[in-house]
Structure 1
C-alpha cells in the first residue's frame, strides 16, 4: 500500500508551527472579542420569529388587552388569611408589588372590586380595605363574601380560605421583552422581607419559570463543564500517559467554544434555552477530532516513529475522515436554519460554524503544538515502513483482536439479525413516544421553582392557564345581548372542560353588577336583555374603579373583543394544546369568532414546534449524510452500512426514553442531533480506514482487524469521555438537561457497541460475498483455460 496522501496544508502546519498557532489564535481572539456583545433572551421572541401566526396572535392580544404574563405570589396562613396579621400582609405585599420592575397591574384580595348593593346604588369597593380597620367582624364578613363569591374561590383564594394569590401583570412586550431577572429578584426580596409568623410565601408565574430555566440551565452548565473538562483530562491522561496528549486538547475545546459564543455576539444572536446548549455540541465535536488525531499520533510514536513523522502521518491519515465528519456535521446543523423556530435556526448556524472552527483548531493549533514536542530527527527508513503494513504483527492469531473478529465473522448473520430484531423492537416502542413537556416539572425536586410550583398545585390549583379572545365583529358589539348570551354559554361550557379550575370574563362582572342593581337579589344574577342595560352596567361598574384597575384588560377599547381567562391544571403541553384546540373548535361551532392565546399556551405550543422542527431537520440531516457518504466512499454499500450502524442507536435511545417514562421534549430531540453527529463521526473514521485498505487490495478479514486495532481505541475513548461527561447531567436541576444526559449516555454506549459488532459484521458479509464471487470467477476462468 502506498503512503497516505500528503496534504499541502499539513506540510505548512509541520514546517511552520509557530505561524500555524498564531493564525489559529488570531482567528479565535477576533471571534472571542464578540463575547462582550452577547445578550440573553429567554422570552417567546427567541423561538417565534416575526410573522409567525402564534406570535402575531399574542402581540395582537397585547395590543388589545395588555400582557397576560404575571409574576405570582402565593401566601399561605394555616390559621386563615382573613385575620388581622395576614390581611395587613396582603395589603402591604399588594402595594409593594406595584413597585416591582415592569409590573403595571396588581390583582389581589386587597384590591378585588366587591360589587354589592347599598340602597338603590351599586357599590364597588376593595374586598380588604387598605386602611382597615381590620376588626374580627369586618374580616369575617369579607371571608364569607369571598368564599361565596362566583369569581374569587380558586381564582384568588382556595376553598378553605388559607391560601391566596397576589398577581402582578407585566408590561406589554410588543416593542421589547421583559427581563425576568429584575422582576424575580425584586419579588424574592419581598418574600425575604415579609416571610414572618406562620406565613409561607412562594413565587410562581411565567416570569419565574423563565428565570428558573435561565438559572437552572446556567447552573448546570457552570457546575458540569468543569466536570466535563476534568473527565477529558483524566481519560486522556490515562490513555496517552503523556502531557502532550492532554493539555493541548483543553485550549482547543475552550477556544472553540468561546469563539463560537463570540460569533453569537458579533451576529446579534441572543442566548436562549436552546442556544445555551452550544458548548455541549462543540465539546463533543472537538473531542472526537482531537482524540482521533492523538490516537494516530501516539500509535506511531509507540512504534518508535520520529515525532515529526508521527504527526505528519497522523494528520494526513485523518484529513479525509475528519473533513468528511466536519462537512456532514456542519451541513446537518446548517439544515436547522430552515426551521421556523428562531432559536433552532440560530443554533444550526452557530454549531455549523463552530464545527468548522473546532476542526481548524484541531489541525492548526493542536497539530502545530504536537510539532513543537521535542523529538528525534526524521528517519527515512520509517517512512518506508509506513508504506508497507506490517501484516505479521497485525495477523497474530493469538491476539485479542484476531480472536474477537473471528467470533464476529463466524456469527455475522446472527449479529445482523439480532440487531435487525432489536431495531424493529426499538422502532415499535419508540413509536409510542409523544411530544410532551410540563413547564411546572422542568425542574428537579428541591429546586426553588419546582417547590413553588408543587406548592401552587397543592394549595391553589390553576395558577396558570390560557386566554380566549371572542370577537363580536363590530364596534360596541360586546353590548349586544345576543352576543353576551353566546359568550356566557361558551364560558359555561369551558368551565365543564376537564382540568379547568376557573374562568373569568366581563360576563361575570356584568351579572354581579346586575344583581347589585336589583338589591343583591340572586334572581338577577343574569345578563341584561337590552343593549342599553348592558352599557349602563358596564358604565356604573367602571365609574367605581381606581386608576390602574379599569376594564381595559377585559374588553377592547372599541368594545368589540371579550377576553375569557381560563385557569386550569392542564400543564402538559400535549394536553394543553389539545384542549385549547377543542375549546376553539367548540366556540367556532357555536358561531363565535374565537381563538386561544396567552404566553403560557404559547410556551406549551413551543415544545411541539421545537420537537417537530428538530425531527424535520433530523430527517434532512440523515438524507444529507447519506448522499455525502455515498459520494465520498463512491459506494452505496459503504454508505448504507454507515447509516444503518448509526440509526440503530438513535432508535434504541428513543425506546429507552419511552420505557423510562419520559416524553419527547427539547432535551430529547437535541441529544439525537448530538449523538448522531458523534456516532457518524466515529463510523466514518472506521469506514474510511477500511476503504483505504480495501482499495489497496487487502483481504476483508485483515481490513476489519486493522480498522479495529487502529480506529476503535479512539472511538472507545471518545465514547467513554462523552458518556461520563454528558452522563454527569443526569442529576441536573433543569430536567431537559437531565434527559440529555441519560439519553446521551445510552445512545453513545449503544453506538460504540454497534460500531465494533454490527459494522464489522455487515462489512464482512458484503465484502466476503464479493471475494467469493471473484474467487469463483477466477476458478471458472482457470478451468476454462
Structure 2
C-alpha cells in the first residue's frame, strides 16, 4: 500500500489537470468510433455457440427456394372486402407497397391463381388459370375460389373472409450470402488450424466487410419498414391494419432497445442525480459520480466501436449495469471521504483524499475482481450473446474500477469539497434499526432466512424456460397486436420446418438391366417399393406416408397453417374433378404443374435433387400452453415410432428450432453459470479473507439474494429467457459488493476493541450508510424502466431493484448475525 500511495503522491494528486487532459485524449479517441457502435438482433446473435441450426435453416431455405425475409400486412377493411370498391382499395395498398425500392415482390389474393374455372382440368390448368389482377372475376366468385382452395385459407385469407394478408417480400441480396459463405469457409479453416497467413488476413478482411455490409443492410431494412409503415398509415382510416413478420420483429426489438438506451438512459441518470442531490446535498457529490459513470460508459461504447463488437438484445443492459457498478464504487468513496472529513475537520483536503483512496482501494478492488469473476462465469453458458455479455461486463468493470480510482481523486484534487457539518446528523435510523433488530432478534433472523431459503428452493423448482416473442412486448404495441391477429386469423406466427429425407437403397442394390423385368405395372398399381421407382417422391406409397405426416401435424393444437406437397395434391385433386390422383397421374405431377406455378406448388415442398420433402408449419405463439421442446419431441417420436421414419430422416429447422435450442439450454446454462459463480466467489473469498469460516459466512447472503430473485420468478411464473438468464449473475455481482465491503469494514472496526456487537453497530452506521445510499440510488434510478414497451427491460429494472434490496437486507441482518454467531475474527470480548 505504501508503494501505491507513493504512486498517487507522485502522479495523480500533484497533477490532476494533466491526468484529466490525458484522459480527455483517450475519450476523444474513443469518440472517433462511436459511429461503429451498433445493436444486433439477427438470427446469428441468438443462436447457441456451435449450433448448426442456423446453417441448417439457411440450407433448407436454399434447397426449397423459400425465405422468411418478408413482412406480413394484415388488412381487415371496415366495409366488405369482396366488393369492387373493397378490392380496389386493397389493390391500391398493394401497389404502393410494391413500389417500395427494397420490395422484391408481393403475394396477395389479387395475384394468386384462383383455380375456379369450370373448364379447368389437369390438361387445361395452364390455360384456364385466372387471377383477380389479370382476369374479369367477380368478387363473390373470387371469394368462393379462395376459400375452396386448400392453400389460401388461414394463410392469405381468414376463414370468415374478413381479413386478408399481403406478403411483402424483402429479398436478401446475393452479396450477403457470398460474404457469409466466404467468411464461414475461412473461419472453418482457421478453427481447424489449416489456414495460411494470407487466409487469416483474408478472414479478417471478409469479417469486417460482412459486418459493414450487414450494418448497411440493417439500415436499409429499417428505412424500408419505416416507409411501409408510412404507407399503411394512409389506409388506417378505412381498415384495421397490422404489420408482422420476422424482419419487423427484429427491427422493433432493436428500436425498443435503442429507445430504452437513450430515453431511459437519460431518465435513469436524472433519477440518479436527483437521489444523489437529496442524499449528499452538495453539487460536487452529484457532478463527480455523474462524470465517473459517464466516462465509463463513454469509453466502453468507444471500445466496442473500435472492436466492431455488436451489442445484442441480452448485452444491451451492460450500460445500465456499468452505471450501477461505477455508482456503487463512487458512493462508497464519497461516504468514506465524508467520514474522514468529519473525524478530522482540520485536516487538509489532500490528506483526506489520500486517506479515502488508501482505505477504499483494497475493498473496492476485492469487490471489482469478485464481481468480474461473477460476470465472467457467463462465458461458460454456451449461448453466444450471453458469452459476449460476460466479456463486456468483465471489460466494463475493469474500466469502471480504473476510472473511479484515477478520475475520482483527480477531480477532487481540483474541486475539494467543503466540510459538511451535517455528516454527524446524517445517521440513518434505517441502518441503526437493522443493527438493533439483528442484536435482539438474532434467532428470528436465522429462522426467517431459513424459511426464505426454503421458499426460494420451491420457487426455483417452479422455474420454466418457455417463452414467446409476443411476451416481450406490451399489449398496446403494434407488434403484439399484429401477432395476435396473425395467430387468430391467418394461421400462426413463428415458422417451423419439418424435413423428411428419402430412404434411398444402397447403390446397385436390386437394380435390373432389363427395364421390362419389373413385376410392377405403374399404370395399374403403386410401385413405391419397387427399386425401379424409388428415385422419385411422386409414388403412391411415399405420398401416402407424407399425407399421414401432414394430417398429424395439422391435428396438433399448437400448429396453425400446415403446408406441404399434400396441399398441392389436394389442389390438383380438386382440379381433377375432385378425384385423388392415381399412381400414374402422381408420376406426371411435375410435368402437369405449369412453370409459373412451380415455385408456389412444388419447389417449396419437394427437392428431388436432395431427396427431401418439406412441411412448413406456423406455430401459434399466443397459445398459453405452448411448450416448444415437448412439441418437437412429440412430433419426432410420432414420425419415428408411428410412421416408421428413421432418426436421420427427420430434420427440424426454422426460427422455432433456433429459439427453442437457446431456451432449452437456458436452464442447464443457469445451473452451470450459478455453480461456476459460487465456486469462483468461494475461491475468491478464501483468497481474500484467508478463512474458510469467513468465506462460508460471506457466501450465505449471496446465496439467499440470488435464490430470492430466481425463487420470485418461479413463484410469479416468469420464465427464464434470453434476458432473465443474466439476473442471477447480476444479483450475485451486486450482493458480493455489499458482502465484501461489510466484512472488510467489520475487520477494520473489530481491531479497535474486539467487541462484536459494538463493531456491528459501528459498521451499520458507517459502511451500512454507503450500502443504503447505493441501494436507494439504484432502486430509485432503475424504477423508471417500468415505463418501457420492452417487457425484458421492465423485468430488468424490477429485478435489479429487488436484487439491491435483498442484498442490502442480507448484508445488514444475516451477515452480521452470522459473524457475531461464528466469531471468525477470534473470541472477542465477553467470550
**Fold agreement, TM-score > 0.5:** yes
Contact kept, 8 Å, 2:49 with 2:382, in 1: the verdict is no
Q: Relative to structure 1, is the Cα distance of residues 500 and 560 closer, same or farther in structure 2, using a 3 angstrom cutoff?
A: same
For 1:465 and 1:621, how far apart are their aligned partners in 2?
Answer: 36
| 2:185 corresponds to 1:186 | no
Q: Relative to structure 1, is the Cα distance of residues 712 and 375 closer, same or farther in structure 2, using a 3 angstrom cutoff?
A: closer
Q: Tell me how far 1:487 sits from its aligned partner.
A: 1.0
Contact kept, 8 Å, 2:432 with 2:765, in 1: the verdict is no
Contact kept, 8 Å, 1:289 with 1:362, in 2: the verdict is yes
For 1:638 and 1:481, how far apart are their aligned partners in 2?
Answer: 75
Q: Tell me how far 1:296 sits from its aligned partner.
A: 0.5
Q: Tell me how far 1:495 sits from its aligned partner.
A: 0.9
Contact kept, 8 Å, 2:37 with 2:309, in 1: the verdict is yes
Q: Relative to structure 1, is the Cα distance of residues 413 and 208 closer, same or farther in structure 2, using a 3 angstrom cutoff?
A: same
Q: Relative to structure 1, is the Cα distance of residues 376 and 110 closer, same or farther in structure 2, using a 3 angstrom cutoff?
A: closer
Q: Relative to structure 1, is the Cα distance of residues 69 and 584 closer, same or farther in structure 2, using a 3 angstrom cutoff?
A: farther
Counterpart of 2:194?
Answer: none
Question: In terms of mean alpha carbon deviation, does 203-212 or 650-659 score higher?
Answer: 650-659
Q: Which of residues 243, 254, 264 is equivalent to 2:304?
A: 264
Question: 1:560-639 alignment to 2 at 5 Å?
Answer: 560-571=611-622, 575-589=627-641, 590-592=643-645, 593-609=649-665, 612-639=668-695
For 1:50 and 1:433, how far apart are their aligned partners in 2?
Answer: 24
Counterpart of 1:118?
Answer: 119
Q: Which of residues 564, 571, 581 is equivalent to 1:512?
A: 571
For 2:68 and 2:165, how far apart are their aligned partners in 1?
Answer: 15
Q: Relative to structure 1, is the Cα distance of residues 404 and 266 closer, same or farther in structure 2, using a 3 angstrom cutoff?
A: closer
Q: Tell me how far 1:685 sits from its aligned partner.
A: 0.6
Q: Which of residues 703, 706, 725 is equivalent to 2:781?
A: 725
Contact kept, 8 Å, 1:163 with 1:459, in 2: the verdict is yes
Q: Relative to structure 1, is the Cα distance of residues 624 and 430 closer, same or farther in structure 2, using a 3 angstrom cutoff?
A: same
Question: 1:33-72 alignment to 2 at 5 Å?
Answer: 33-48=32-47, 51-65=50-64, 66-72=66-72
Contact kept, 8 Å, 1:502 with 1:567, in 2: the verdict is yes
Q: Tell me how far 1:767 sits from its aligned partner.
A: 0.9
For 1:597 and 1:100, how far apart are their aligned partners in 2?
Answer: 31
Question: 1:105-254 alignment to 2 at 5 Å?
Answer: 106-115=106-115, 118=119, 121-123=123-125, 128-133=131-136, 138-171=138-171, 174=177, 175=180, 179=218, 180-196=221-237, 198-254=238-294
For 1:158 and 1:36, how far apart are their aligned partners in 2?
Answer: 45
Q: Tell me how far 1:73 sits from its aligned partner.
A: 0.6
For 2:418 and 2:825, how far apart are their aligned partners in 1?
Answer: 46
Q: Tell me how far 1:328 sits from its aligned partner.
A: 1.4
Q: Which of residues 489, 493, 501 is equivalent to 1:471?
A: 501
Q: Relative to structure 1, is the Cα distance of residues 731 and 657 closer, same or farther in structure 2, using a 3 angstrom cutoff?
A: farther
Q: Relative to structure 1, is the Cα distance of residues 775 and 706 closer, same or farther in structure 2, using a 3 angstrom cutoff?
A: closer
Q: Which of residues 313, 316, 341 is equivalent to 2:358?
A: 316
Q: Tell me how far 1:719 sits from its aligned partner.
A: 0.5
Q: Relative to structure 1, is the Cα distance of residues 718 and 126 closer, same or farther in structure 2, using a 3 angstrom cutoff?
A: farther
Q: Tell me how far 1:710 sits from its aligned partner.
A: 1.6
Q: Tell me how far 1:219 sits from its aligned partner.
A: 1.6
Contact kept, 8 Å, 2:106 with 2:169, in 1: the verdict is yes
Contact kept, 8 Å, 2:568 with 2:602, in 1: the verdict is no
For 1:455 and 1:223, how far apart are their aligned partners in 2?
Answer: 30
Question: How many residue pairs end up in the alignment?
Answer: 744
Q: Tell me how far 1:447 sits from its aligned partner.
A: 1.9
Q: Which of residues 350, 372, 385 is equivalent to 2:414?
A: 372
Q: Tell me how far 1:50 sits from its aligned partner.
A: 7.3
Counterpart of 2:594?
Answer: 542
Q: Tell me how far 1:157 sits from its aligned partner.
A: 1.3
Q: Secondary structure in 1 aligned to 2:28?
A: helix
Counterpart of 1:387?
Answer: none
Q: Tell me how far 1:375 sits from its aligned partner.
A: 7.3
Counterpart of 2:582?
Answer: 528
Counterpart of 1:640?
Answer: 696
Contact kept, 8 Å, 1:74 with 1:201, in 2: the verdict is yes
Counterpart of 1:681?
Answer: 737
With the length of structure 2 as denominator, give the TM-score of the two structures: 0.83
Question: In terms of mean alpha carbon deviation, does 412-421 or 145-154 score higher?
Answer: 145-154
Q: Which of residues 480, 486, 490 is equivalent to 2:549?
A: 490
Q: Tell me how far 1:605 sits from its aligned partner.
A: 3.8
Q: Relative to structure 1, is the Cα distance of residues 38 and 58 closer, same or farther in structure 2, using a 3 angstrom cutoff?
A: same
For 1:33 and 1:629, how far apart are their aligned partners in 2?
Answer: 40
| 2:463 corresponds to 1:433 | yes
Q: Tell me how far 1:248 sits from its aligned partner.
A: 1.5
Q: Tell me how far 1:99 sits from its aligned partner.
A: 4.8
| 2:329 corresponds to 1:289 | yes
Counterpart of 1:664?
Answer: 720
Q: Tell me how far 1:348 sits from its aligned partner.
A: 1.4
Q: Secondary structure in 2 aligned to 1:771?
A: coil
Q: Tell me how far 1:365 sits from its aligned partner.
A: 0.5
For 1:400 and 1:744, how far apart are their aligned partners in 2?
Answer: 21
Q: Tell me how far 1:100 sits from its aligned partner.
A: 4.7
